[in-house]
Amino acid sequence: MGIPESTSTSSPVTSSPPPFGEIFTDAIRYWEPRRIGYNGVLALIVLGWVVFTWPHFRSAFTWSFLLLMFVLAVLANVCYCAAYLVDVPVQYSSYRDSWRRRRWLFWLVGTLFAAAIAFYWVADEIYPAVAPLTGRRA
């Protein structure tokens, strides 16, 4: 008599990671719609400073100053792309499913961090550099 063969295997099931294109597409579909909220938060901070200190910022509306604000906005969006440097590798790990459920926390922390930097930058660098209407530098 022979020993009956087992119908189940004891080896763990290993699945191959999704292809790069699928992971990158998932990352784009997640992060790009949220870029609008990120930019909105930063825009509200800048607009809040301008509105609540309006007489001070009136003299700042020049083409060179607006170009500087545009460059800073572009740099803020380049920093937003750092999310991809974290998201894509984590999706290749065994934590992919839990990461996909909780990556909104990463967005929230990153947006709050960017908001703190924007607030500081306006308060400590831009506000003092803008000449008030009297012509004196602050």
- Report the alpha-carbon distance of residue 27 to residue 138 in Å, rounded: 44
Q: How confident is the model at residue 131 (pLDDT cuts 50, 70, 90)?
A: confident
Distance CA 64, CA 77 (A): 20
Which tokens belong to 131?
């000449």
Predicted confidence (pLDDT) at residue 136 exceeds the cutoff of 70: no
Under 8 Å between Cβ of 48 and 41 = no
Return d(Cα 93, Cα 17) in angstroms, integer.
8
pLDDT of residue 15: 72
- Alpha-carbon distance of 38 to 33, in angstroms, equals 9
Average of per-residue pLDDT across 12-32: 88
In the chain, what are the domain boundaries? Answer: 20-129
pLDDT tens digits, one per residue of 30-71: 999 999 999 999 999 999 999 999 988 988 889 998 999 999
Q: How sure is the predictor about 99, in pLDDT bands with cuts at 50, 70 and 90?
A: very high
